[in-house]
Amino acid sequence: MKKYFLFTLFLCFMQITAMAQLQNTQPTLMTPREHFGKELQILIDDMIETMRAEPGVGLAAPQVAVPLRLIVVEYGDDENPETPPKLYVMANPQIIRASAETERGIEGCLSIPGFLGEVERSLEIVVRGQNRQGKPMKVKAKGWLARIFQHEIDHLNGVLFIDRAEKVWRAEEEEHAQVTAVD
Ligand code: NI
């Protein structure tokens, strides 16, 4: 079986100029009564559409200039490439467990166009949050899915992959193509 490239592209729509702003923004914690209404449903659908159009594997609300603690993630299974990608919508995500075991992987972000970096992340995590209706949900993620959740949750805290990367480099065009390619 062919092995998936351990590369992926994370969606980031913030311009460099807006990044400083994001870093100072503390997105709002969402409460059911105030937040889980029709407007939120529209926002979530827009975020999913934007993520898919790119195509990307995740998006955080502050990346589309909405200061809410909300992420969408869509990714398949590392071990079963035939399995269709699974969509996660999570409000107020919180990592409640992170493995001490870590792994390095290459990440990119449209907030920092043209650059890639090697980032060390926990191999396995448990994330707790709420679904799009405000009901509690919990996700156990491993490998690349765990990485995507960590990358997106970082966005909610104003942290970008370059803040964590041990090595950042300018990507060649082919390398960027590879980032989205699944082989
Ligand atoms: Ni990003």
Q: What is the whole-number distance in angstroms between the Cα of residue 152 and the centre of ligand 1?
A: 6
Q: Report the pLDDT averaged over residues 36-56.
A: 93
CA of 68 relative to ligand 1 center, distance in Å: 15
Read off the pLDDT band of 16 (50, 70, 90). Answer: very low
CA of 1 to the centre of ligand 1 (A): 29
Each residue of 83-110: pLDDT tens digit? 899 999 999 999 999 999 999 999 988 7
Model confidence at 172: pLDDT above 90: no
Lowest mean pLDDT among 47-56, 155-164, 167-176: 167-176
Question: Cβ-count burial of 90 within 10 angstroms (0-12 exposed, 13-18 middle, 19+ buried)?
Answer: buried
- Asked about 152 being catalytic, the answer comes back as yes
Q: List residues, by chain if needed, whose CB lies under 5 Å from ion ligand 1.
A: 10, 12, 109
Is residue 86 within 8 Å of 74, Cβ to Cβ? yes
Please give the class, per CATH, of domain 2-178.
alpha beta
Ranges of each domain in the chain: 2-178
Q: What are phi and psi of 134, to 5 degrees?
A: 90, 5
Catalytic residue, candidates 34, 49, 54, 152: 152
Work out whether the CA dihedral 162, 167, 172, 176 comes out positive or negative. Answer: negative
Question: Distance from the CA of 136 to the center of ligand 1, in angstroms?
Answer: 25
Residue 63 Cα to ligand 1 middle (Å): 8
